[in-house]
């Protein structure tokens, strides 16, 4: 069972988590993975960035806030003096480590990927002992364990990959004896360590991935991701009012949704389960009586009208165009374009090419847009000078909308209906891409229209609650907008990430 940031957001949330674990542990063996408390990883990364800039004051303020937040929860959850003291000592040691890491960064004015990982890992290292102590206070024998002991990864800081053979060995050796004794292990999500013991992180939102890595390593019967929504919904409920919970979807559908920005799952979450076919559940910590979504190798097969099962969007992306009439004569433009993006490790989320080769467009994350454009301009410098390639440009204000459903391939008219729905809302479609698997169709639209495009498409394919009236949708949606969104209601993935951490 994995509990996300909002699920361990404060003492009253942790009480709910404890109840869920307590009940489940009476029925079967449970291993718990926890995220940092909501908002903590963002703050730690801010502290790391401020340290690099040499700003002592904001770093001190952040650590003071974090200390208060964790102490308040510890006080509310753990009442026995001895238990509270030992939790306090463990937390203090972690805060001291954070202090040393930031002081070192301030002195050097350099934030290495390794130091950044170590600083951003502190949240999980604090929440695991907190949850374990809360469990103990409610009579559930538990032990907090740092995943650096168990998860062996490569040294790719910020996006580490597990070495499953070693990870499996260590997880089984360390956790099986605990389970045999009825002890509930509480592991830190998000982190691991290289074989040499250097701490790594799996990437933002990576605790989901930690849970399935662990599920696979332990041959678990099922993995449950407990979060703050009822399951995988037909669209992000913060953007589309009336989005419905999907009872069952396939691994591929879930992976596609995650890839195209559905924050409810980290994009790599399904990978460790593919071989075993282990079911993955998404359930609501705050409404544990609801069934949630079951993610299985083949899904239920049933989908709404039109084969579309769910929608998703990514807001913080940019569209890069390599184009011009002269491109017809330039050799291997496509190959050179993708070689360039691969060299700078820019993940291309979507690409399309017009038939005469005179326009290739790529969508990459906003953070990488300028670097990608510079690299492409270097690659095509000679061709640009001879005006064979007329331009390498980018539009920073776009979004991707993706339609997902295993059965879309067999259904005609999906693209036409989407065009119609978007046209009625006066949303321009800038580019479109359909994978050969037929499991997703993605559209690039102006970012300012992202939400309207989602709402219109959601309605067109009858994905939501029937009674929702379109004007109500728009009105209620504003309430659903997280505080950090810009005043005009425009939303992007960065806002979403910042709002939920
Ligand atoms: P956690 O902290 O539990 O990991 P996240 O904030 O990472 O939770 O993910 C849950 C959030 O994902 C939800 O609150 C919801 O706003 C967002 N989300 C985006 N798309 C979807 C979707 N299709 N179904 C459910 N939730 C979604
Ligand atoms: N705490 C980490 C993050 O905010 C990992 C996670 O929550 O899954 O990215
Ligand atoms: Mg998450």
Q: Per-residue pLDDT for 498 more than 60?
A: no
Calculate how far, in angstroms, residue 234's C-alpha sits from the geometric centre of ligand 1: 12
Continuous segment of H or E residues that includes residue 400: strand 391-404
pLDDT tens string 38-57: 999 999 999 999 999 999 99
What is the rounded distance in angstroms from the CA atom of residue 212 to the CA atom of residue 2? Answer: 9
Q: Which of 207, 225, 266, 499 to mutate to test the pocket of ligand 2 (most atoms within 8 A of CB)?
A: 207
Q: Whose CA is nearest to atom 8 of ligand 2?
A: 205
Calculate how far, in angstroms, residue 486's C-alpha sits from the geometric centre of ligand 1: 20
Question: How many other C-beta atoms lie within 10 A of the C-beta of residue 444?
Answer: 23
Q: Per-residue pLDDT for 99 more than 90?
A: yes
Label residue 86 by pLDDT band (50, 70, 90).
Answer: very high
Average pLDDT over residues 431-435: 85
Q: Which of 13, 32, 41 to mutate to test the pocket of ligand 2 (most atoms within 8 A of CB)?
A: 41
Report the chain's mean pLDDT, rounded to a whole number.
Answer: 91
> Distances in Å between the alpha carbon of 83 and those of 79, 125, 332?
8, 17, 66
What is the rounded distance in angstroms from the CA atom of residue 305 to the CA atom of residue 43? Answer: 43
Continuous segment of H or E residues that includes residue 33: strand 32-34
pLDDT tens string 339-394: 999 999 999 999 988 766 678 999 999 999 999 999 999 999 998 888 888 889 99
Q: Report the pocket of ligand 2 as residue ranges, CB < 6 Å.
A: 4-5, 35-36, 41, 123, 189-190, 204-207, 501
> Distances in Å between the alpha carbon of 450 and those of 22, 215, 246, 260, 345?
42, 36, 22, 13, 27
Q: Is 398 helix (H, G, I), strand (E, B) or coil?
A: strand
Q: Per-residue pLDDT for 448 more than 90?
A: yes
Contact 263, 236 (CB under 8 A): yes
Label residue 324 by pLDDT band (50, 70, 90).
Answer: confident
Is residue 249 within 6 Å of ligand 1 at its C-beta?
A: no
Which ligand 2 atom is nearest residue 501's CA?
A: 4
| Percent above pLDDT 90 for the chain | 82
pLDDT of residue 435: 72
pLDDT of residue 491: 34
Label residue 210 by pLDDT band (50, 70, 90).
Answer: very high
Q: Per-residue pLDDT for 500 more than 50?
A: no
Average pLDDT over residues 243-249: 96
pLDDT tens string 106-141: 999 999 999 999 999 999 999 999 999 999 999 999
Is residue 237 within 6 Å of ligand 1 at its C-beta?
A: yes
Average pLDDT over residues 243-265: 95
Task: Answer whether 0.85 is exceeded by the pTM.
Answer: yes
């Amino acid at each position: 069972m994995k509990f996300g940031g909002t699920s361990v957001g404060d003492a009253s949330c942790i009480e709910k988590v404890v109840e869920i674990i307590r009940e489940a542990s009476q029925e079967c063996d449970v291993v718990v993975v926890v995220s940092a408390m909501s908002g903590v990883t963002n703050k730690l990364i801010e502290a790391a960035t401020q340290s690099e800039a040499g700003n002592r004051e904001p770093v001190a303020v952040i650590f003071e806030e974090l200390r208060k937040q964790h102490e308040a929860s510890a006080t509310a959850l753990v009442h026995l003096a001895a238990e509270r003291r030992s939790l306090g000592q463990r937390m203090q040691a972690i805060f001291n480590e954070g202090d040393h890491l930031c002081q070192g960064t301030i002195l050097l004015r350099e934030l290495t990927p390794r130091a950044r990982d170590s600083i951003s890992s502190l949240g999980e290292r604090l929440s695991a002992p907190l949850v374990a102590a809360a469990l103990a206070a409610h009579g559930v024998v538990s032990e907090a364990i740092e995943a650096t002991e168990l998860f062996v990864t490569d040294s790719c800081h910020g996006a580490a990959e597990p070495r499953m053979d070693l990870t499996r060995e260590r997880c089984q050796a360390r956790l099986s004896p605990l389970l045999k004794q009825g002890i509930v292990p509480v592991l830190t999500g998000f982190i691991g360590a290289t074989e040499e013991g250097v701490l790594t992180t799996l990437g933002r939102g990576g605790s989901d991935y930690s849970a399935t890595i662990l599920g696979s390593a332990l041959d678990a019967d099922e993995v449950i991701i407990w979060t703050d929504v009822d399951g995988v919904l037909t669209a992000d409920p913060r953007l589309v009012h009336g989005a419905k919970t999907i009872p069952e979807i396939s691994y591929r559908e879930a992976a596609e949704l995650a890839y195209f920005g559905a924050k409810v799952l980290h994009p790599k979450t399904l990978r460790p389960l593919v071989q075993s076919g282990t079911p993955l559940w998404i359930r609501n910590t705050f409404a544990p009586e609801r069934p949630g979504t079951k993610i299985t190798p083949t899904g239920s097969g049933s989908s709404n009208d039109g084969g579309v099962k769910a929608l998703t969007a990514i807001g913080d992306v940019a569209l890069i165009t390599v184009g011009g009439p002269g491109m017809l004569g330039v050799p291997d433009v496509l190959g050179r374009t993708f070689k360039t993006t691969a060299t700078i490790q820019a993940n291309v989320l979507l690409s399309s090419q017009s038939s005469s080769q005179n326009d290739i467009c790529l969508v990459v994350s906003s953070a990488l847009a300028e670097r990608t454009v510079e690299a492409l301009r270097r690659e095509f410098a000679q061709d640009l000078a001879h005006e064979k390639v007329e331009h390498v440009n980018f539009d920073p204000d776009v979004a991707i909308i993706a339609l997902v459903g295993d059965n879309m391939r067999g259904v005609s008219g999906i693209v036409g209906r989407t065009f119609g729905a978007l046209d009625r809302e006066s949303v321009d479609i800038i580019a479109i891409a359909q994978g050969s698997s037929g499991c997703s169709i993605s559209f690039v639209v102006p970012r300012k229209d992202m939400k309207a495009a989602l709402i219109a498409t959601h309605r067109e394919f009858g994905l939501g609650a029937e009674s929702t009236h379109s004007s109500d949708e728009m009105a209620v949606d504003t309430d659903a907008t997280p505080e950090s969104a810009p005043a005009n209601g425009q939303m992007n993935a960065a806002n979403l990430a910042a709002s939920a951490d």
